[in-house]
Chains A and B, each alone.
Chain A
Amino acid sequence: MPGMTLPRNSVPERAHPTMSQLVLDRVSVTYAPKPDETLLACSDISLTIEPGEFVTIIGPSGCGKSTLLHCMGGMLPPSEGSVTFAGKQVLKPNPRDAAFVFQDYSLFPWKSVLENAGMGLKFAGGSRQAITQQARRQLDFVGLSQFAERYPRELSGGMQQRVAIARALALEPKVLLMDEPFGALDEQSRRSLGSEMARILADAGQTVVLITHSLDEAVFWADRIIVMSPRPGTIAEEIRLETPRPRDLDFMTTKEFQDIRVHLFEQIQLHR
């Protein structure tokens, strides 16, 4: 793969030195599922997410991808190493820095779509009017303004996930952390919602870290692909893509896409 793979842990060019950079420094996470048992979920991971970058993380099941993402957002303290955002250590979730989009949407079924989109803003405090206004703007942004007064159960899975994305974007987070956001959708809505969101996020210049199982997703969305090894998860490889984003669906037919996809397939599906 000449030209697109970078050696492990290579230091990217620093366009904005430490400003809004999310830096993982030798992060390891150990779980204790039982008192006399420890489980190393991911080990010695160093990674820097640059502002405006779209990073996808891919790896076999149970390689600690989700754990890593939770660490980035302050949901889970690393057992070793540190996570810093804009030079400050991340100790607890701060949705203005890094906001989550979870796989199962996790909307509150007892709240309307509009209330759900404004939930993070409500927690952050602010006038009801400002919250409603911003939530409406975000719903509009993801194309759901006419569903504001509905309830999540009345929406399809793809629409619910768009509400969850609006909820995260409403806080204008510097980084969006997406944990297999389209994993629960069928192939077709997955692809259409995926490419739509990819465009929206690219237009907004949003920094995104996205975890996925799908090789297509991992390649299609990314400026950079992080390939993780099986447990304990380490960074096996970093792949940088040349084609600028946002990309059209026909990017999937290019040689670059196909080459990387085949390479990932070999890495993840064959060598396990």
Chain B
Amino acid sequence: MTAQVTRADADMKKRKSPSRGSTTHRLRVWGLRLALVTVIVALWLFANRPGGISPLILPELGKVAQSFVDLVITPDTWRQAGITVFEMVVAFSIAAVVGLGTGFALSRNRISSRTAEPLFAWGYLFPFVLLYPLFLLWVGVGIQSKIAYAATGAFFPIAYNTIRGLRSIDERYLKVGKAFGASAFQMDIDVKLGAARPMILSGLRIGSSIVTISVVLAELLGSNAGLGHEIEQASSRFQIANSYAVVVLLIVIAAVLQAGLERLLKPRHK
């Protein structure tokens, strides 16, 4: 009897704790984050002291901040940022739609899903950057090559995780779908998508980070526009503070995009 009661109690506590202890908990986490940033800034300032690290490698924090402000108030920066963001969003959308569609289509049949799974796993592991020169040849230097390249890279983890997720669905859920007369399409949307959701979401998250990396990398390696191109330009002219500032801007943009994606992927209730 006691065992049952304590289990119920523990259940109650588990359910209540996130809401009750959340304020102090959150304060502590944010405090630690702030401390971490402070330490980094302190180390940076310390490294910039006379006789410290060369400004060619690590420009002064003040100069980076100044460059960042200059960057933010220059309209052209936002044009470049817009190009980069556009490439990221389009590449991710293509990869998500095609990856999910392929995963679901192949998973309707056990044989095709088995066949495709290792191929997608290899595609996932393959360093696609090796093919980037070919993408330039195929699609040109413009934004299309960045989109094609980033979407290709992100397609594989998304399709792979979708297939893996759909393959490992608990048989019980499929049984319910069958017993209650779900059509193949209803099975996909109402049963499989829900049951495989965690796997599919992790595929989309991996895909989104691959898109972010790939787009910037592609702009660095060969392009005539975008923030990656700006970094390349700045560092080739030894405007180190400037290229640091672009990196900071990229981090901010990536964080905003990531937050937007998380918001999109969050379940409707709770």
Of B54-62, B144-152, B177-185, B212-220, the segment with at least 4 beta carbons within 8 Å of chain A is B177-185
Encoded as 1 (CB less than 8 Å from any A CB) or 0, chain B from 178 to 199 comes to: 1111110010001100110100
Q: A108-B191, A108-B194, A112-B269 are known contacts. Are A95 and B181 too (CB-CB below 8 A)?
A: yes
Partner of B267, one of A104, A106, A110, A171: A110
- Cβ-based interface call for B176 (8 A): yes
- Cβ-based interface call for A221 (8 A): no
- Cβ-based interface call for A120 (8 A): yes
A123 and B172 contact, CB distance less than 8 A:
no
B residues within 8 A CB of A124?
180-181
B186 and A122 contact, CB distance less than 8 A:
yes
A93 and B179 contact, CB distance less than 8 A:
yes
- Cβ-based interface call for B175 (8 A): yes
- Cβ-based interface call for A119 (8 A): yes
B194 and A100 contact, CB distance less than 8 A:
no
Encoded as 1 (CB less than 8 Å from any B CB) or 0, chain A from 83 to 113 comes to: 0000000001111000110101010101110
Which residue from chain B places its CB closest to the CB of A100 in the assembled complex? Answer: B179
B181 and A123 contact, CB distance less than 8 A:
yes
Which residue from chain B places its CB closest to the CB of A107 in the assembled complex? Answer: B176
Partner of A119, one of B15, B180, B267, B269: B180
Partner of A93, one of B181, B197, B270: B181
- Cβ-based interface call for A77 (8 A): no
B residues within 8 A CB of A100?
176, 179-180
- Cβ-based interface call for B173 (8 A): yes
Of B173, B179, B186, B194, most A-chain CB atoms within 10 Å: B179
Bound together, the chains give a CA A106 to CA B183 distance in angstroms of: 18
B181 and A94 contact, CB distance less than 8 A:
yes
B178 and A122 contact, CB distance less than 8 A:
no
**8 Å CB contacts to B: which residues of A115-173?**
119-120, 122-124, 149, 151, 154, 167, 171
Q: A123-B181, A123-B182, A123-B183 are known contacts. Are A110 and B176 too (CB-CB below 8 A)?
A: no
In the assembled complex, the CB of B182 is this many whole angstroms from the nearest CB of chain A, namely: 4
Which residue from chain A places its CB closest to the CB of B268 in the assembled complex? Answer: A112
Bound together, the chains give a CA A14 to CA B243 distance in angstroms of: 89
B176 and A102 contact, CB distance less than 8 A:
yes
Of A99, A123, A149, most B-chain CB atoms within 10 Å: A123
Partner of B179, one of A95, A111, A122, A149: A95
Which residue from chain B places its CB closest to the CB of A105 in the assembled complex? Answer: B172
In the assembled complex, the CB of B202 is this many whole angstroms from the nearest CB of chain A, namely: 15
Q: A108-B191, A123-B190 are known contacts. Are A95 and B267 too (CB-CB below 8 A)?
A: no
B179 and A99 contact, CB distance less than 8 A:
yes
A75 and B178 contact, CB distance less than 8 A:
yes
Of A75, A102, A110, A151, most B-chain CB atoms within 10 Å: A110
- Cβ-based interface call for A73 (8 A): yes
Partner of A73, one of B179, B186, B195, B270: B179
Q: A106-B172, A106-B175, A108-B173 are known contacts. Are A95 and B180 too (CB-CB below 8 A)?
A: yes
A110 and B180 contact, CB distance less than 8 A:
no
B180 and A93 contact, CB distance less than 8 A:
yes
Partner of B194, one of A111, A123, A154, A167: A111
Bound together, the chains give a CA A95 to CA B178 distance in angstroms of: 10
A residues within 8 A CB of B191?
108
In the assembled complex, the CB of A246 is this many whole angstroms from the nearest CB of chain B, namely: 27
Partner of A99, one of B178, B180, B194, B267: B180
5 A-B pairs whose Cβ atoms sit less than 8 Å apart in the complex: A94-B181, A99-B180, A100-B176, A112-B269, A154-B15
Residues of B within 8 A of A (CB): 15, 172-173, 175-183, 186, 190-191, 194-195, 197, 267, 269-270
Residues of A within 8 A of B (CB): 73, 75, 92-95, 99-100, 102, 104, 106, 108, 110-112, 119-120, 122-124, 149, 151, 154, 167, 171
9 closest residue pairs by CB, A with B:
A110-B194, A120-B180, A106-B172, A100-B179, A123-B182, A106-B176, A95-B180, A93-B179, A123-B180
